Amino acid sequence: MTIAEMNFFQRMLYILERYGGSLVKGAATTMAIAIICTLLGCVIGFAVGLVQTTEPHKKDGLVKRGVLRVVKVILTAYVEVFRGTPMMLQAAFIYYGMSQLFGINLGMWSAAIIIVSINTGAYMAETVRGGILSVDPGQSEGARAIGMSHFQTMMLVILPQALRNIMPQIGNNLIINIKDTCVLSIIGTVELFFTFRSISGALYTYFEAASVTMIIYFILTFTCSRLLRWAESKMDGPSNFDLATTDTLAFTSGLTRYDAKKGGTH
Amino acid sequence: MSEILRIEHLVKTFGTNEVLRDIDFTVSKGDVISIIGASGSGKSTLLRCINMLEEATGGKILYHGKNILAGELDEDQYRTKVGMVFQSFNLFNNYTVLENCIIGQTHVLKRSKASARDKALEYLSKVGMELYINAKPRQLSGGQKQRVAIARALAMDPEVLLFDEPTSALDPEMVGEVLDVMKALAETGMTMLVVTHEMAFARDVSNRVIYMADGRIEEEGSPKDVFYAPKSPRTRDFLSRFSQN
């Protein structure tokens, strides 16, 4: 039976049989780039967001204030440029720019990772800034009042809470990255979309190849979003508000039982 | 009694709004000073200025003779000596009760984990919260949170503890448990500066009462003098509003 004689499902099966290996490889590349770049993007985002929310200390000298000001301007420019231009063009710009201006030939992996990371970082910077601002100012006053420095306050109290607040957004970014790595096919990264183009080009079965690839993309994103939901609920712990009945100082009638051994959560 | 804090000509303005005008008073070891007054009289701002959460516009805050406002002592180091309990508790939501009381000790005072834990447990049992060391702040009632906040402040071994309306955010039935803890604390000789609307506490527990109005200290004296023989007509007027109900 030739491809021309097959029906839709048979063609899909044929693609899976013949190109299953490359599809899995493409999907793995896509996932690897998406996960690595989301993580690196988070690191960049946290670094940038942290600087953006730093106010100069009143005792800082002019030099320190000036440096902070300049760094902030540069970071704002970075965020605006990378949020404001298509990643596909950024990929071409960086990949071909590096080779033309500096004679550096970025490999497929390093190019992909650099481009998607700094793009994600630009989005994450704003998300982190929002996450930091969303933490109750009382939290930082509480930390300052026991003598924590600005840095300690940030690392120990504010950022962990900001991280929890922006978890849904990090998940969002991961899913966007899984899909958006497809623009890397412009610089020849062999990821899932590139594999789709090869298959459809070889067999002239655009519809079937697209269907198979879409299903794979969906499985990837859906699994990730469920896993992240699960991680979020893990971070929150149980949601029941068990209070004390054994507290001798408190007026506790009507409150549910608190089990001290289990940390009061069951 | 040895002097810990001396506030001299303290001024605080927000824009053109003068919130504190020329505040002078001293805090000595073992003092329990209640600061009373109507809303907007500058009580909380005064406390926040003393703990440097607000930057005073003028005047001096002398801690053992060192002017904090002139940077004669490191700000963070000073804050470990002058603890603060907030109206809204401000427990760290990402840590358990025990961790809340340990983290400042290990990271700021550089105490060992074990000794910090011992100290935290000691103060948590003093405020009756030793059974809840593994609970997260959101699992506690307001009164319990405030007791943990007091333990957290105490664990830093401060010389003075500032209370900024510690019972104002609590349901009525929880006010008592926090006041009991504060009363017990006062009896151990802790130096306390308490902004409060609890007149019974001010009258019975403190050794000095400051009545503030319009950013000034209108009257200062022993609870007996301020409550039963107020000199200023404004103090009398303010207190009469409490005795009516």
Chain B residues near residue A152 by CB distance under 8 angstroms: 107-108
Crossing angle of helices A87-102 and A108-134, rounded to 10°: 130
Residues composing chain A: 266
Q: Which run of H or of E encompasses A8?
A: helix A8-52
Q: Select the residue of A138, A146, A243 nearest B139 (Cβ to Cβ).
A: A243
Q: Look at residue A210 and give its three-state secondary structure.
A: helix
| B92–A149 CB contact, under 8 Å | no
Reported as a pLDDT band with limits 50, 70 and 90, residue A109 is: confident
pLDDT at A189: 82
DSSP-assigned beta bridge partners for residue B83: B161
**Which DSSP string do the residues of A91-153 spell out, in sequence order?**
HHHHHHHHHHHH-----HHHHHHHHHHHHHHHHHHHHHHHHHHHS-HHHHHHHHHTT--HHHI
Mutate to test the interface with A, among B54, B76, B78 (most CBs of A within 10 A): B76
**What is the rounded distance in angstroms from the CA atom of residue A146 to the CA atom of residue B86?**
12
Q: Select the residue of B138, B144, B156 nearest A146 (Cβ to Cβ).
A: B156
Record the pTM.
0.81
Q: Select the residue of B71, B108, B138 nearest A148 (Cβ to Cβ).
A: B108
pLDDT at A242 over 60: no
CB of A37 within 8 A of CB of A237?
no
Q: Which two three-digit tokens encode residue B183?
A: 């009363």
Start-to-end C-alpha separation, chain A: 62
pLDDT at A231: 86
Nearest CA in chain A to B158: A146
| B141–A243 CB contact, under 8 Å | yes
Q: Which run of H or of E encompasses B221?
A: strand B216-221
Give the gap in angstroms from C-alpha A156 to the nearest C-alpha of chain B: 9
pLDDT at A254 over 70: no
pLDDT at A261 over 80: no
Q: What angle do CA B91, B93, B94 make, to 5 degrees?
A: 130
Reported as a pLDDT band with limits 50, 70 and 90, residue A248 is: low
What string of pLDDT tens digits covers the 245 residues of chain B?
Answer: 689 999 999 999 998 899 999 999 999 999 999 999 998 899 999 999 999 999 999 999 999 999 999 888 998 999 999 999 999 999 999 999 999 999 999 999 999 999 999 999 999 999 999 888 888 898 888 999 999 999 999 999 999 999 999 999 888 888 999 999 999 999 999 999 999 999 999 999 999 999 999 999 999 999 999 999 999 999 999 998 886 54
pLDDT at A4: 76
CB of B47 within 8 A of CB of B195?
yes
Average pLDDT of A142-163? 92
**Which DSSP string do the residues of A62-80 spell out, in sequence order?**
HHHHHHHHHHHHHHHHHHH
Question: Between A249 and A20, whose confidence is greater?
Answer: A20
Q: Select the residue of A58, A157, A243 nearest B55 (Cβ to Cβ).
A: A58
Answer yes or no: is the ipTM higher than 0.85: yes
Give the gap in angstroms from C-alpha B64 to the nearest C-alpha of chain A: 18
Chain B residues near residue A58 by CB distance under 8 angstroms: 55
pLDDT at B1: 61
Give the gap in angstroms from C-alpha B230 to the nearest C-alpha of chain A: 34
Q: Look at residue B143 and give its three-state secondary structure.
A: helix
Q: What type of residue is B31?
A: D
Long-range contacts made by residues A250-258, C-beta under 8 angstroms, separation at least 24?
A250/B141, A250/B143, A250/B144, A250/B174, A250/B177, A251/B173, A251/B174, A251/B176, A251/B177, A255/B141, A258/B131, A258/B132, A258/B135
| B132–A244 CB contact, under 8 Å | yes
**What is the rounded distance in angstroms from the CA atom of residue A38 to the CA atom of residue A43?**
9
pLDDT at B40: 86
In terms of Cα–Cα distance, which of B31, B20, B18, B21 is closest to B163?
B31
CB of B64 within 8 A of CB of B58?
no
CB of A98 within 8 A of CB of A115?
no
- Using DSSP bridges, classify how beta strands B58-63 and B216-221 pair: parallel, antiparallel or unpaired: unpaired
Chain B residues near residue A156 by CB distance under 8 angstroms: 92, 103, 107
In terms of Cα–Cα distance, which of A3, A2, A11, A24 is closest to A190?
A24
| A58–B79 CB contact, under 8 Å | no
**What is the rounded distance in angstroms from the CA atom of residue A174 to the CA atom of residue A167?**
11
Nearest CA in chain B to A236: B94
